[in-house]
Amino acid sequence: MLARGTLADAMLLLTGATGMLGSTLLPRLTAAGIPVRCLVRDPRRLGPERVRVQIALGDLADPPSFRHALRGVQTVVHLAATVRDQPGGSIEELGGIATWRMVEAAERAGAERFVFSSALGATAHDRTRLLRSKALAEDAVAGSRLTTTIIACSLLHAPGAGLVRMLERLSLLPVVPLVGHGRALVQPLWAQDAADCIAECLRREPRVRHERFELAGPETLSYAALTRIVTGALGRRRPLVPVPEGLVRGALRTSELLLDGRAPVTWDEAEMATVSLTTPRGAADARMLGVEPRRLVSVLGAG
């Protein structure tokens, strides 16, 4: 369990507390008695935790809101990000540029430590906008004067959330479409295991000024295999039908134009299923942090 330890009584700012990972990490922090402030757009989305934290209304699209949120903060855990353009900003603005601004604001506010969630394989020339924006953000974090920790994750999963939820919906169809051939590889990591790893990073004194962990689950799966496991866990085994990427892109871009921000899936989201999110270190970094990550089947209750 996370103890206050190095965090003492100093305030911790958590962004993305309402997301899959943040909502898993937050109860660990509050249960350990760590004073937490959450930068949120809508506090109601914090659920019961909202009475245990300080709330700073803010938005990645509104950098002035960072200043208020960062007052008196020692540690920033920056998890907020988006894989979909928003009215207030693009994926690049809300991921890359906002992180750079958050780092600058944290430096100015006198914070000491900055923890940032990135993704495996984030490079400036990746085909996906999200991973390119993560590369920009990683540069800003690693170049900062603060003590920093980058947590680069493979695909995160939790029952009823994220990709698992989308596959659950798709499995209601008679066949489940795969973007391309579903050959891209992931090492799925349960959000609870990822949260335990971050909690352990926060508990221990960093060994170097800029540290980086690559967090992945214990198995390497193609998207096709992952889809079979998720649909199998639901008892809905369906034929998987590869759909050419060009066709998926065209159809999703058209629906985005027609539905104006309300499309159930965007091309930027679907494109993530065409890139591999893997590390040759496998689950080694998670184990180094004292976490033995669980296999997808055991989390979904299918194994």
What residues make contact with ligand NAP under the rule CB under 6 A? 16-22, 41-42, 45, 59-61, 79-82, 86, 88, 94, 117, 119, 153, 155-156, 162
* β 147-153/210-215 pair status: parallel
Question: Shortest Cβ distance from residue 163 to ligand NAP (Å)?
Answer: 7
Nearer to ligand NAP, 35 or 96 (CB): 96
Q: How far is the CB of 8 from ligand NAP (least distance, A)?
A: 26
Which is closer to ligand NAP, CB of 94 or CB of 275? 94
**Nearest residue (CB) to ligand NAP, 81 versus 109:** 81
Task: Give the type of residue at 155.
Answer: L
Contacts of 278 (CB under 8 A, 6+ apart): 120, 121, 154, 185, 186, 187, 216, 220
Q: Which is nearer to ligand NAP, 35 or 58 (CB)?
A: 58
Cβ(118)–Cβ(137) under 8 Å? yes
- Tokens 């939790």 found at: 158
Contact between 288 and 211 (Cβ < 8 Å)? no
Min separation Cβ 41 and ligand NAP, Å: 4
Shortest separation between residue 299's beta carbon and ligand NAP, angstroms: 14
**C-alpha–C-alpha distance, residues 105 and 78, integer Å:** 12
- Segments in the chain forming alpha helices (H): 22-31, 64-69, 91-92, 98-109, 129-142, 162-170, 191-203, 223-233, 245-259, 267-271, 284-288, 296-300
Q: Which is nearer to ligand NAP, 59 or 268 (CB)?
A: 59
CB of 255 to ligand NAP, least distance (A): 20
Q: How many CB atoms lie within 10 A of CB 177?
A: 17
What are the angstrom distances between the C-alpha of 78 and each of 41, 54, 74, 151?
Answer: 14, 16, 13, 10
Phi first, then psi: give them for residue 231, nearest 5 degrees: -70, -35
Nearer Cβ to ligand NAP (247/275):
275
- Minimum Å gap between C-beta 119 and ligand NAP is 4
Q: Do the beta carbons of residue 273 and residue 83 sit within 8 Å?
A: no
* Minimum separation from the CB atom of position 111 to ligand NAP (A): 18
Q: Which is nearer to ligand NAP, 93 or 112 (CB)?
A: 93
